[in-house]
Structure 1
C-alpha cells in the first residue's frame, strides 16, 4: 500500500477547491489541509487560518500538522518566491520558484524569453511613458491590445476597437492608479486573431505531461463582449485541439519552452499554463504564460483527470514524472462561473446564497466555491466577484453543458450573473464537421 503524506493546499478560490477535491480522492493523501480555504471545502479538508501567504505564516502550519507536500494555488505567492522559501526548509512543493514564476510575473520577461527561444507570439512594444504607448498604438490598426506588465488577477489586458479607449487604458495604467505597480510598464501588442486554447503541462523540470486541453471565456458578457475578467467559464476537452494540432503545439511551443528553461538554468516544478491563439490556418501562438493552474480551467480539467493527482504532485516534486502515465479523458466537463453583479468592477458582498443543497445533490454536477464566506447568521454568502464554478460532467459536451446550466439554475443570490453561451464555439465546430 502506498505511503500516505499530509498535504496543504494554499489558496481560497474555486481553483483551490478543485485541487482539494482531486487530492481528497488520492490514495497518497493522508490528512488534507487548505489555508485559508473557503466554506465549500469543509467536507474535504481541514481549513487553517492564514493571515498572509508567506513562509513566516505557512511554515508554522507545516510543522504543527506534519505536512509533507504543499500545493500553491495562486500566482502571487509563487512570484514572491514562497516555493523557494519552503524548499529551503526541506518542504516538498508543487509550484515553481521565483525564477520560473517570472514567466507570469513579468510579461516583458516572458516576451523576451519567447524571442530568445524562437517561440511564436505577437509582435510587441514595451512602453514606460504615455507618449511611447501612444506612438505604439498609432502605428497599429484595430483591435488594439494593451497589457499591464505585472500580475493583475486576469484584469490587466485591454482589447478595444477604439484607439481612444486603448489610449485611455494605457494612460490609466501608466499615469493613474488602475493596477498600481503592475501597470507602471505596459505592452502594446499586435492583436492575434483566431480561437483561444489553454494548454496545461505538468512538469518535474525534466519531463512534462499534458492535461486535457481547455478553452476559457474571458469576457464578462455573452458573445465575448464587455471587459476581461479572470474567466467566466470553460470546457474540456476542445474539438479544435486534435492530435495534429497538439503535436504542432508540442513541437513549436512546449518543447522550446522547456528546453529554454533548461538552457537558462531555471528550475521548474509544477504547472506551466500556455494560453494560445490558434489562427484560421492552424498556427498556434502564445498569448501568455501562467505558472499555475488556470481558474476556471482547473475546474474542468482536474475532474477529468484519470490518474491519482496526489501521486502526480509527489512525482513532480521528486523528479520522477516520467514514471507516471494517465489516460486521455473519456468524458467532457463544462464550467459556468456564477458572478456577483458589477464584476469585474465594484460589487457588493454578503449576499445570502440559496439552492446549494439541491444543486449539490444533482448527479454529475460539481459546485466549486470561489468567493464565499459565512454570514453572521451562519449561512453561505458571497465574498468575491466570481462566487461559484458550476461544473457539469457528461459523455458529450452538450450533456456536460446541460448539467452545468441545470445546476447553475438551482442557485441564486441577489444580482447573480452568468454567461449563457459557454462552449458554443465548440458546438458550432462539431456541427460543421457533421454537415
Structure 2
C-alpha cells in the first residue's frame, strides 16, 4: 500500500522526486486558491496544472494563458480537488519506461511512446492512450543509462530509505529535452495501458518466472538482463465514438473471426457477450490491436490491415499511430 502512494498522491510524488534529487519539472503545490493564482500570474506559458489523487480523468490540464490557469485553479478548489500541483511545461520528447524490480535491483523492459490525444495530429482530448509503439527509436544505450542513473537508481534508493520498497513494476513517464536531459513527470507502480499490450509481446522471457523471481528478491541472481526481442510493436486502440466523453455501449463487433495471423494480438478492453455469444462493445476503449514485426513500418502496416477487418457502429481510431512520431513527441508533455 505504501508503495502505491507514489502513484496515487501526485503532490507526495513531486516532493519525493525533489527530496531524492530526481530531475522533474519545477513545481509548486497548493491547497489554497490565492497563492496558486499568484503562482500562475507570474508563470510562463504553457503551464501544467495537475489534480491530486481524487481527481477525475487524467488529472492534468495544460493551460495556454493566465485566464485558463485561473479558471482551472478555481475549478479544482471549488470541487475539493486539492492540493494541486502547478508545474512548468517542458518541451521535449516523451517516453514511458518500465522496469521490473525486487525492491533492490531493476531490469528494464522495452521503451514505448504513447499517443495520448484523441485525434490525429496530436489534437483533441487528452486520453489514457489511443495507441503506442515500441521501442522508441531515439532512445539509445547512452540515454538509457542516463535514465537509469538519474531516475531509477535514486527512485529505488529513495523508496528503500522511506521504507516503501516493494517488488513489481515501476513505470516512469519521462520527458527528454533538447539536450538529452530526462525529467520524471510521473510514476506508476503497475504496467501502463496501452504500453503493456505493446511491450510485453517483445519480452522473450517467461513473465511469470520473472515476476516470481522479483517477488522473492532473487532478480539479480536469476537474470543478468531480460531477453527482449529486436522486433517492433505497434498498438492501436479501437474506441467508441464520443470517447473520452459520452459514448454508446452494446454495439455488435464483427470481423474478429477473420483474423488469423500469429503476428497479431487482439486485447479485449471493454467488450461483453450477448445471449447469442456475439461480442459487443462495453466501454470507451474497446479493443487493442497489436502487431509485431521486424520493422516499425511493417508492424504499422500489419496493424492497420487488421483493423480494416474489424467493424462496429461508431468505431473510431487514430490513423497516424507510429507515423511522423518525432513531430508529435516534440509537442507532447505527459
TM-score relative to the length of structure 1: 0.72
Q: CA 1:266–1:335 in structure 2 vs 1: closer, same or farther (change >3 Å)?
A: same
Please give the residue correspondences for 1:389-400 in structure 2 after superposition, counting only pairs within 5 Å. 389-400=288-299
**Hey, which bits of structure 1, 4+ residues long, moved more than 6 A?**
none
Higher relative contact order (CA 8 A, sep 6+): 2
2:244 aligned with 1:347: no
Within 5 A, what are the aligned runs for 1:407-426?
407-426=306-325
Q: Which residue of 1 aligns with 2:332?
A: none
**Deviation per residue, 1:345-392 (Å, 9 max, x gap):** 122211111111113x13411110111112344321111111111101
Deviation at 1:425, TM superposition (A): 4.1
Q: Which moved more, 1:158-167 or 1:192-201?
A: 158-167
What residue is the counterpart of 1:125 in the other structure?
28
CA distance in structure 1 between the aligned counterparts of 2:172 and 2:317, rounded to whole angstroms: 25
Which one has a larger percent helix, Structure 1 or Structure 2? 1
Q: Which has the higher strand share?
A: 2
Q: Which residue of 2 aligns with 1:171?
A: 74
How many angstroms does 1:213 deviate by?
A: 0.6
Residue 217 of structure 2, aligned match among 319, 322, 332: 319
- 1:278 is matched with which residue? 176
Counterpart of 2:331 in structure 1 is none
Indicate conservation of the 8 Å contact 1:148/1:184, yes or no. yes
Q: Cα distance, 1:154 vs. partner?
A: 5.6
Secondary structure at the counterpart of residue 179 of structure 2: coil
Please tell me whether residue 235 in structure 1 is matched to residue 157 in structure 2: no
1:375 aligns with 2:274: yes
Q: Specify the SS of the correspondent of 1:206.
A: coil
Checking the alignment, whether the CA contact within 8 Å between 2:109 and 2:226 is kept in structure 1 is no
1:328 deviates by 3.2
Structure 1 pair 413/130, CA: closer, same or farther in 2 (3 Å)?
A: farther
Matched, 1:111 2:10: no
The answer to whether the Cα contact below 8 Å between 1:200 and 1:212 also exists between their aligned partners in 2 is yes
**Any conservation in 2 of the 1:238–1:426 contact (CA below 8 Å)?**
no
Among 138, 155, 177, the alignment partner of 2:58 is 155
- Native 8 Å contact 2:156 2:165 kept in 1: no
Is 1:300 the counterpart of 2:171? The answer is: no
Deviation of the 1:252 alpha carbon: 0.8
Whether the 8 Å contact between 1:335 and 1:391 is mirrored in structure 2 is yes
1:128 touches 1:184 (CA, 8 Å); kept in 2? yes
1:200 equivalent in structure 2 = 98
Q: Are the equivalent residues in 2 in contact too, given 1:158–1:227 (CA < 8 A)?
A: no
SS of residue matched to 2:39: helix
SS in structure 1 at match of 2:4 = helix
Find 1:213's aligned residue among 102, 111, 128.
Answer: 111
Which of 126, 132, 143 lines up with 2:46 in the alignment? 143
- The alignment partner of 2:170 has SS state of strand
Please give the root-mean-square deviation of Cα atoms over the aligned residues, in Å. Answer: 1.8
Cα separation, partners in 2 of 1:282 and 1:153, compared to 1, 3 Å: farther
Counterparts of 1:345 and 1:363, CA distance in 2: 34
CA distance in 2, matches of 1:137, 1:222: 30
Q: 5+ residue gaps in structure 1?
A: 1-97, 430-435
Q: CA deviation at 1:151?
A: 5.5
Q: Which moved more, 1:406-415 or 1:291-300?
A: 406-415
Provide closer, same or farther for how the CA distance between residues 355 and 133 of structure 1 changes in structure 2, counting only shifts above 3 A.
Answer: farther
Q: Any conservation in 2 of the 1:340–1:415 contact (CA below 8 Å)?
A: yes
Deviations 1:54-100 (A, max 9, x none): xxxxxxxxxxxxxxxxxxxxxxxxxxxxxxxxxxxxxxxxxxxx111
Q: Do 2:108 and 2:226's aligned partners in 1 also have CA atoms closer than 8 Å?
A: no
> For the Cα contact (< 8 Å) 1:212–1:329, is it kept in 2?
no
Change (3 A) 1:154 1:366: farther
Contact 2:290 2:303 in 1 (8 A): yes
Q: Which residue of 1 aligns with 2:235?
A: 335
Alpha-carbon distance in structure 2 between the residues aligned to 1:345 and 1:329: 37
- Please report the TM-score for the alignment, with normalisation by the length of structure 2: 0.93
- Cα offset for 1:168? 3.0
What number of residue pairs does the alignment pair up?
326
C-alpha distance in 2 between matches for 1:230 and 1:206: 30
